[in-house]
Amino acid sequence: MLTEHYKKYIDNCVLAWLATSSLDKFPNVSPKEIFTHWEDNVILVANIASPNSVRNIKENAQVCISILDILVQKGFQFKGIAEIIHTGDESWGKLSKPLITLAGEKFPFKSLTKFTVTKAKPILAPSYIFFPDTKEETQIAAAKNSYGLDH
């Protein structure tokens, strides 16, 4: 499910958005800084400041995570089933290791989300859809200008 192309995006992006929903269908979207891929169908996310996400996943394991390169304005939306793994759980050691490497001492965490991907689809800025000749370089330049990064 997670092709090398997907894994490259996951490795190169710095922020992801995790969407969850409670049993009463109240949605929550939370930014995530520490995440990585695991094997061929799992995305791991460190639960740093995520009480709503964790609570929702315990009630409703169906989740969606969007990983987007904000300069290129392309990325992927992944849907699947999530599970909360805690420090005392049997799989904690092997699953937390890559996230601890990414987080360092800056972001301690005592649980993680193990997200098994069942569906994936591309995310594109509307410019790519409405103006098929749009080039990534143009999108990057426009984004850098919008964010004040071109100085």
Bridge partners (DSSP) listed for residue 84 = 113
Dist CA 83 CA 62 (whole Å): 9
pLDDT of residue 106: 87
Residues 6+ apart with CB under 8 A from 5: none
What's the pLDDT at 151? 61
What is the distance between the alpha carbons of residues 11 and 66, in angstroms, rounded to a whole number? Answer: 13
End-to-end CA distance of the chain: 40
The pLDDT assigned to 137 comes to: 94
Domains of the chain: 4-125 (2.30.110.10)
pTM for the model: 0.91
> Which of 29, 32, 33, 37 is CA-nearest to residue 10?
37
Block mean pLDDT (10 aa), the chain, length 151 = 93 95 93 96 96 96 95 95 97 97 92 98 94 93 88 61
